[in-house]
Amino acid sequence: MKIQMFAGRPMAASMLAAVSIALLATTAIPAHAQQRSSAAASVGNNDLGGVVRSAKGPEAGVWVIAETTDTPTRLTKIVVTDDRGRYLVPDLPKGNYQVWVRGYGLIDSVKIPVTLGQTNLGKTLDLTAVPAPTPAAAAQYYPPIYWFSLLSVPAKTEFPIDQIKSQGEWLNTVKSGACQSCHALGTPGTRTISKRLGTFKDSADAWAERLTAGSASAFMARDITKLGTQRALELFGKWTDKIAGGELPFVTPSRPEGIARNVVVTEWEWSEPTAYLHDEVATDRWDPSVNAKGKLYGSTEDSTDFMPVLDPVASADSGVQIPVRDPNTPNVTARPHGFSPSWGPNAIWNSQTITHNPMMDEKGRIWLTSQIRPPANPDWCKAGSSQPSAKAFPINLSNRNIAMYDPPSQKFTLLSTCFPTHHLAFSRDHDRLFFSAGVVGPAVLGWLDVKKFEQTKDEEASQAWTPFIVDTSGDGKRGDYVEPDKPVEPGKDKRIAVNEYAIAVSPSDGAVWGTVIGYPGAIVRTVLGTNPIETALSEIYEPPLPGYGPRGGDIDADGVYWAALASGHVGSFDRRKCKVLNGPTATGQHCPEGWTLYQLPGPQMRDVKDAGSAEASYYVWVDWFNTFGLGKNVPIIMGNLNSSIFALVDGKLINFTVPYPMGFFPKNVDGRIDDASTGWKGNGLWTTYGTRAMFHLEGGTANRPRAVRLQLRPDPLAH
């Protein structure tokens, strides 16, 4: 194992002896991507440009925000000033805008009204930045991680607490293993207790009530038990008490520097204020030119059955209702919910489909993991069936199935699956569509033979699945196996009871990879073989400390797997470095040499001594085709608590922040090429505010979710 550190405390001497450490800096950039500064800020047609100054002079590395409601849906563009305080916002549709400055060390400037488009000429507008009068005023603009890191964490000596065995296990839960897989802690709505919640004896009681609020109360009640309920309530109460008493973050963020100043962020509102935009899809994973300049499609999971649709060319949003096959399909309205300080006593979510993740195929069709019926499986999935996979490994329940939407015909096709569906990924030729089961499931890898289904329309015959069997016999093939609760036996393989969360198909060899959530968690590789139901073999690899807690991940073109870790790292795993690949010891901890850990930006939790960051990164996506402009095969890591995405180039992390509205929370990205002939304007990354609670962010209940495009210019003043 190799560890590369971004920032944080030194590691113990024993660990230092075993690993090599490289210090990364958030402003470090690759040599081939250095920022260059134009000689002058020329303002072209439909552009807005000028200089940002304060009483101290030009302000470098601050954001200029231009926003209009004259488009069919609210449109926002954000750029960063160069080293001389100059800015240029390119390609603004005509309309009336509010323009202002935001930056670390500042408070927002007065919003200046500007009208563009009447003469088809751009405008020059110099802006005045306003230095923050106090540290407290400045801190209101910091990303959530700076506030979250104030949370006290039980000391290692306190464990075990209830069933929690270690500090790392506790941190995994409070970070991306549970709590912050849904929303960030440290946003305005989470670091304070609303008076509308009621009056309580102390803040621990207030937090107990808070966890019953809203439509996600069942999940919060479940997850607080994984933290030691009373101890966790005390710590959360102490956290909000300290902030209410004036405590401020102990670290201040740095302004964007270098290539991070070249980004252009465009945002469009879509869906409803109560919606939860888990994911979006803009193109085909295997060909980013598919659906060029086309519409985006979102998944709203528990919140609504209307799939949001965004036309970025027209800046217009709409929605399509996703159907169910059985009217008795459960609705989330049946879940318990409590009084919400934001929305009152009524449930704000209404969904039967609980659509989780969309993926686009080579024809521009949208495939979704979606509930279409009650969870009980039909008989052909169960024991006694002649369906080949069911005969080998029967399944009784499935929480989600498949919905496919064809935009030209505006029609849905619904498919019932025996295996549960969560995330999904196509094979290179689009013949197979693979599915993860999510956090809870029957411990199988499932897939749909897409071509067979198109030819036969037979959903039963077109699907298959396999349990995860590890070659502990070491003979290179699948044979008799022992069950997960049994020890390894000589000459036999072993089934592992894991459910994959993320899922990806390797461009290098077609192997299917996925993550296993938990502490320490794991990644799993599966090769199907010639007759997958009988020949599929899997390998499992656990991240070595100080890394733990995989959430989302992706595979690069060389077959190296990248995983977002709750420890505050992104981990890469190169199977080619492994000394052991199978045999009786190949049960998870057998290849630490395959791992490299890169520490993510931001402070570590104040009470945590281990290397890492307070960051709770949700997912990793690898840019196979240079859609962002940093090169091919670049890992893009979600910076959920930094309000950012990170790019790892030549071993160095670059931090691209989305500063407005505060609390950007990306679940994943995809990259699309709209027009390769237009340079940076024809490429971009697409994502969405993926939080369950937009009303926790700046703007409160007035917020609607936002789709976000990030584009990378050659310099901060490029048209």
Residue 3 pLDDT grade (very low, low, confident, very high; cuts 50, 70, 90): low
Give the per-residue pLDDT at 221. Answer: 87
pLDDT digits (tens, 9 = 90+) for 145-157: 999 999 999 999 9
What span, in angstroms and rounded, lies between the C-alpha atoms of 682 and 601?
A: 29
Is 65 contained in some domain?
yes
Give the per-residue pLDDT at 676. Answer: 95
Q: Is the pLDDT of residue 520 over 50?
A: yes
Residue 37 pLDDT grade (very low, low, confident, very high; cuts 50, 70, 90): very low
CB within 8 Å of 347: residues ≥ 6 apart: 215, 332, 333, 335, 337
Is 130 contained in some domain?
yes
Is 48 contained in some domain?
yes
> What's the Cα-to-Cα distance from 571 to each of 343, 359, 510, 541, rounded to whole Å?
39, 25, 21, 12
Is 246 contained in some domain?
no
Closest C-alpha to 567, from 518, 534, 527: 518
Give the per-residue pLDDT at 18. Answer: 33
Is 82 contained in some domain?
yes
pLDDT digits (tens, 9 = 90+) for 89-132: 999 999 999 999 999 999 999 999 999 986 667 899 999 999 99
Query: What is the H or E stretch that residue 389 is in?
Result: helix 388-392
Give 710 or 4, the one with higher predicted confidence: 710
Give the per-residue pLDDT at 12. Answer: 34
Q: Is the pLDDT of residue 329 over 50?
A: yes
DSSP tag of 164: B
Question: 487-496 — which CB contacts under 8 Å span 24+ positions?
Answer: 488/584, 488/587, 490/584, 493/469, 493/537, 494/469, 494/470, 494/587, 495/443, 495/467, 495/468, 495/469, 495/470, 496/443, 496/468, 496/469, 496/470, 496/524, 496/538, 496/540, 496/587
Q: Is the pLDDT of residue 14 over 80?
A: no
Hey, what amino acid is at 331?
N
Give the phi and the psi of residue 309 in degrees, each rounded to 5. Answer: -130, 130
Range of the domain at 62: 38-134
Start-end of H helices in 394-546: 450-456, 532-535
Question: How much is the average pLDDT of 279-293?
Answer: 98
Give the per-residue pLDDT at 30. Answer: 39
Strands (E), 90-155: 95-102, 106-107, 112-116, 123-124, 127-128, 130-131
Give the per-residue pLDDT at 413. Answer: 98
Give the per-residue pLDDT at 672. Answer: 98
Other Cβ atoms within 10 Å of 342 Cβ, number:
18
What span, in angstroms and rounded, lies between the C-alpha atoms of 519 and 346?
A: 36
Q: Give the least confident one: 36-40, 220-224, 498-502.
A: 36-40
- The token duo for 530 is 């010639």
Q: Give the least confident one: 81-85, 268-272, 341-345.
A: 341-345
Residue 72, domain CATH: 2.60.40.1120
What span, in angstroms and rounded, lies between the C-alpha atoms of 500 and 435?
A: 9
Question: How much is the average pLDDT of 358-383?
Answer: 98
Give the phi and the psi of residue 668 in degrees, each rounded to 5. Answer: -170, 175
275-286 per-residue burial string, b: 16 or more CB within 10 A, e: under 16: bbbbbbbbbbbb
Is 665 contained in some domain?
no
pLDDT digits (tens, 9 = 90+) for 424-465: 999 999 999 999 999 999 999 999 999 999 999 999 999 999
What span, in angstroms and rounded, lies between the C-alpha atoms of 356 and 302?
A: 8
What span, in angstroms and rounded, lies between the C-alpha atoms of 117 and 123?
A: 9
Is 49 contained in some domain?
yes
Q: Is the pLDDT of residue 643 over 50?
A: yes
pLDDT digits (tens, 9 = 90+) for 685-704: 999 999 999 999 999 999 99
pLDDT digits (tens, 9 = 90+) for 493-508: 999 999 999 999 999 9
Q: Is the pLDDT of residue 29 over 50?
A: no
> What's the Cα-to-Cα distance from 453 to each of 397, 409, 433, 447, 458, rounded to whole Å?
22, 19, 11, 12, 6
Calculate ∠ Cα 619-621-623, nearest 5°: 160
Peptide bond into 546 cis (omega under 30): yes
Give the phi and the psi of residue 551 in degrees, each rounded to 5. Answer: -120, -95
Mean pLDDT of the chain: 93
Is 692 contained in some domain?
no
Closest C-alpha to 258, from 535, 673, 654, 591: 654
Looking at the 3D structure of the chain, how many domains does it have?
1
